[in-house]
Amino acid sequence: MSVIKRWWQTEPAVTQVILAVTVAFFLIPWLLMGSQGIWLVNMMGLKNNQAIIAGEWWRFITPMFLHANLTHIALNAVVIYFMGVQIEAMFGHWRMLVIYLIGGISGNILSFALSNNQSLGASTACFALFGAFLMVGESFWENPVIRQLASRFLLLTVINLVFDLFSTGIDIWGHVGGAIGGFLIAYTLGVPRIGKISNLKRILATVVLVIAWVALLKMGFTNGELTV
């Protein structure tokens, strides 16, 4: 068995790759420009509503890989690793990747619709991992271990959102959107390693997610045109 194949089969490979890419994206402007590298971060793709309206759609994705400072990335890196390991163990490699990306994009879309502030950070995707865990708890509540863990993560999610309300410089809409997006996309994907999700729930979650994306994107573009 090759080293790469063994790594893929025995390690939380997607979590490790996400973490490595996120750290790399932080180090590029930090090493090149130090504390003056914020302009480069902007060029690399933080969430900027007017830039998105101008056609830079990748800014729904890139913000989740960018961070403002060492404390910012350190806090998110801890969540990415410890939550990512658990989600990847339950959902598998590719489902973990989809939850992370779609949840992060969902957070940035909600922020685009409801906030004109620029934002960046993996928090949208981190909250998507919380949302996916809550989906597991809701779907398999009869399992006492899952119920106990889900209750703890629900409390942790609520505490974080309450903390956001009393903090400055926090994109609370991105966090809320990430959690909801992670919850819905987790239903769409299912958790075959744990149990079966009804097809009706999976279809409903997909429809709700798609409709929400369309409505929020329309709202964001409308609001942006009104403020120009």
User: Tens digit of pLDDT for each residue in 169-203?
Assistant: 788 899 999 999 999 999 999 998 888 999 999 99
- Could you give the CA distance from residue 190 to residue 180 in angstroms, rounded to a whole number? 15
What is the pLDDT, as a whole number, of residue 176?
Answer: 93
Residue 19 amino acid letter? L
Measured CA angle at 87 (ends 84, 89), to 5 deg: 105
- Is the pLDDT at 165 greater than 70? The verdict is no
Contact 22, 76 (CB under 8 A): yes
Number of C-beta neighbours around residue 145 at 10 A? 8
Tally of structural domains, the chain: 1
Bridge partners of 47? 119
Output the domain CATH number for residue 55. 1.20.1540.10
Please tell me the pTM assigned to this model: 0.91
Region 145-156: mean pLDDT is 77
Number of C-beta neighbours around residue 164 at 10 A? 17
- Is the pLDDT at 111 greater than 90? The verdict is yes
- pLDDT digit string, tens, across residues 11-56: 899 999 999 999 998 887 777 765 555 666 667 788 999 999 999 9
Residue 2 falls in the annotated catalytic set: no
Residue 72 falls in the annotated catalytic set: no
| Residue carrying structure tokens 């075959």 | 192
Q: 106, 111, 123, 139: which is the annotated catalytic residue?
A: 123
Cα dihedral angle (115, 50, 169, 66), rounded to 10 degrees? 120
- Structural domain of residue 77, as residue ranges? 3-227
